[in-house]
Amino acid sequence: MDTDRLVEVAPHYVAMLLLVFLVLAVVRALVGDLGFWVELVIIFVVVFLYRPAVHLLDVAPSAWEEQ
């Protein structure tokens, strides 16, 4: 993978990480302390739904559209 593609997708990975922290903070504020496994499931859901959501919003980087 060349550096241009990495530079293009890096902001999306940062946004995904921030979204995971945001979702976990909101869930913890609403529900309280969750167990490790529940939080891990929430992380997997956010991570796996991020890419389809970005494609649906039509803001996906071209590096993801080529695959």
Q: What is the pLDDT of residues 44-63, one digit of tens each?
A: 999 999 999 999 998 888 88
Structure tokens at 57: 């919003």
- Give me the number of domains the chain comprises: 1
Which residues are CB-neighbours of 61 under 8 A, at least 6 positions away?
5, 8, 9, 12
* Residue in the structure block whose two tokens are 């590096």: 63
Res 60: pLDDT: 87
The pTM of this model reads 0.83
34 in any annotated domain: yes
Q: Is pLDDT above 60 for 67? A: no
Percent of the residues in the chain that have a pLDDT greater than 90, as a whole number = 67
65 in any annotated domain: no
Res 1: pLDDT: 58
Parent domain of 43: 11-56
Res 54: pLDDT: 92
27 in any annotated domain: yes
38 vs 8: CA distance, rounded Å: 32
26 in any annotated domain: yes
67 in any annotated domain: no
54 vs 36: CA distance, rounded Å: 27
